[in-house]
Amino acid sequence: MSQRKFTRRDVLKTGAALTGAGVLQGADLALFAQAWAQSTPWKPEKGAKLQLLRWKRFVQSEEDGFVALVAAFTKATGVPVTVLNESLDDVQPKASVAANTGQGPDIFWGLYSLPHLFPAKCLDVTDVADYLGRKYGGWVPSAVTYGKSGKGWIAIPVGYNGNIINYRKSMIEKAGFKEVPKDTAAFMELMKALKAKSVAGGFALGRASGDGNAWVHWCLWAHGANLVDAKDKVVINSPETVKALEYAKQLSTHFVPGTASWNDAFNNKAFLESQVSLTNNGVSIYAAAKANAGKDPKAKEVMDDMDHSLWPVGPVGKPTEFHVAYPMLAMRYTKSPQAAKAFMAFTLEAENYNKWLLAAVAYITHPLNAYDANPVWTSDKKLTIVRDVAKRTLTAGGLGSVGEKAASALADFVILDMFASVCTDRATVKDAIAVAERQARRIYR
């Protein structure tokens, strides 16, 4: 959809919808929902019920916003929706088992390649995707990759979670830098200076499926290396991978001690306690600092002093970021396919989606271009850069397919362990690549 040329009329229409309805409240929203239910092409089946299994929230206000959205849907359509929460890692096995046995929740909302693990079991939602793409300025390219299988759409990418650089302004100034450099060579200098003259930074080298995977993939891709090529052929054994590993190894000598044990939560704690000057994370550190700024002067200091930055660009010459994607899919076995489609369409309608985006305080980034105009992106200039992460991100599997094999390689920490074993001196660059190559060959056979 991204290559669709939308007309000026489209833009005007969506723009008007956004500014006019961006923050509908109470009675207005109820009116909108009723009118929407009457005009939507997806009429829920009689007596339809939906069960939705989602990843467990990281930011409370995001979940509150989603609960409100679900309630509005039920009110408008009369379709009750039960929402189940599962930790991020558990969504995929549950969805796979449900797809296999043909029973379970109607809608699954999970990570990256989830719909591509069982494309034949996913309800075709091409009409919903086309409708939304047409109405809201088109899908970003990565959303098309995650949502489409063959000719049709098997999932609606509902949002992204940007993984970006979090840093303390005062600490990088002390190291002699005004901002986070835009290229990897200068970034190395920053990390070196931070360790030498200020407070050291660090990225997770433990088995942190979110933050750990985000930074090592950035580093791998930034140096032009890839696990597989566009045909899913394993190409990890390359001079580019050697360069990426050497860069990471040198970078890690400037890390704060102990990053090899960091999981996804360690850097949040350390950053909030001013023990680390720079790390990679979502905007949840900022959100936590902001939430406590009223009662805790230390949190206020962190909030005022911190900022976000996009990842530096490596020798490959273009951004190589890896942000989390959250696609939503309906199972083919659902008894209420129309209700499920109606729910997905309803979720991404401006009147609902804008509110939810606001509630998520930039923890979620939109997959549809029109939502660039959402007030959350201008509400706080420290959050503005997160607006573009969906457009910048590469997809799971890199150049290769986004399906089961990519998910397997991520779950097995093939790339993360390769970097960690080199950075912690457990293996030479050559041996680490050999182990990763052997594993990848097996996964991509």
Partner 1 sequence: MTGEHGRWRRLRTNRDWLGFWFMLPAAAFLLLFLVYPLGLGIWLSFTDARIGSPGNWIGLENYEWIIGDAKFQTAVFFTLLYTLVASAFKFAIGLYLALLLNQAMPFKAIIRAVVLIPFIVPTVLSAIAFWWIFDPQFSVISWSLKKLGWIQGNINFLGDAWNARWSVIFANVWRGVPFIAISLLAGLQTLPPSLYEAATLDGATRWQMFRYVTYPLLTPIIAVVMTFSVLFTFTDFQLIKVLTNGGPAGSTELMATMSYNTAILGSRIGEGSAVSTAMVPFLLAAIMFSWFGLQRRKWQHGESND
Whichever of 270 and 350 has its CB closer to partner 1, that residue is: 270
By the criterion CB under 8 A, which residues form the site for partner 1? Answer: 89, 92-93, 96-97, 99-100, 117-118, 121, 205-207, 256-263, 266, 269-270, 273, 275-276, 404, 407-408, 411-413, 417, 420-421, 424, 426-427, 435, 438-439, 442-443
Closer CB to partner 1, 362 or 418, in the complex: 418
Least distance CB 142 / partner 1 (angstroms): 22
Among 397, 429, 113, which Cα is nearest to 234's?
Answer: 397
Rounded least distance, CB 419 to partner 1, Å:
8
CB of 392 to partner 1, least distance (A): 27
AA letter at 192? K
Q: Which is nearer to partner 1, 358 or 410 (CB)?
A: 410
Q: Which is nearer to partner 1, 256 or 278 (CB)?
A: 256
**Nearest to partner 1 of 99, 396 (CB atom):** 99
- Residue of 180, 183, 130 lying closest to 156 (CA atoms): 130
In the three-class reduction of DSSP (H, G, I as helix; E, B as strand; rest coil), residue 419 is classed as helix
* Shortest Cβ 345–partner 1 spacing (Å): 27
What SS3 state is found at 82? strand
* Least distance (Å) between residue 99 CB and partner 1: 5
Letter for the amino acid at 144?
Answer: V
Instruction: Kindly state the smallest distance separating residue 443's Cβ from partner 1, in Å.
Output: 8
**Quick one: the chain helix, strand, coil %, rounded to 5?**
50, 15, 35
DSSP H or E stretch at residue 156: strand 156-161
| Of the candidates 411, 428, 259, 356, the residue with the CA atom closest to the CA atom of residue 29 | 356
> How far is Cα of residue 132 from the mean position of the Cα atoms in its chain?
20
Least distance between partner 1 and beta carbon 110 (Å): 12
Q: Which residues of 126-139 are buried (b: 16+ CB within 10 A; e: fewer)?
A: eebbebbbebbbbb
For residue 127, what are its two tokens? 């009409």
Which is closer to partner 1, CB of 150 or CB of 294?
A: 150
Residue 57 CB contacts under 8 Å (≥ 6 apart), including other chains: 63, 66, 85
Please state the closest distance from residue 116 (CB atom) to partner 1, in A: 11
Residue 389 or 409: the one with the smaller Cβ distance to partner 1 is 409
Q: How far is the CB of 35 from partner 1 (least distance, A)?
A: 40
The residues with which 168 forms a beta bridge, in sequence order, are 306
Q: How far is the CB of 401 from partner 1 (least distance, A)?
A: 15
Nearer to partner 1, 13 or 332 (CB): 332
CA distance 329 to 311: 30
Question: For residues 36 and 112, which CB has a smaller minimum distance to partner 1 in the complex?
Answer: 112
CA distance linking residue 283 with residue 62, whole number of Å: 12
Contact 383, 99 (CB under 8 A): no
Smaller CB separation from partner 1, 258 or 315: 258
Query: HSE of 50 in the Cβ direction (CA atoms, 13 Å)?
Result: 29
Provide the phi-psi class of 55: left if phi over 0, else alpha when psi is between -120 and 50, else beta. beta
Task: Pick the closer one to partner 1 by CB: 150 or 257.
Answer: 257
Give the shortest CB-162-to-partner 1 separation in angstroms: 23
Nearest to 421 by CA among 439, 408, 396: 439
Place of tokens 């991020």: 88
> Could you give the 3-state DSSP secondary structure of residue 97?
helix
C-alpha 341/C-alpha 379 separation (Å) is 32
376 neighbors 383 (Cβ within 8 angstroms): yes
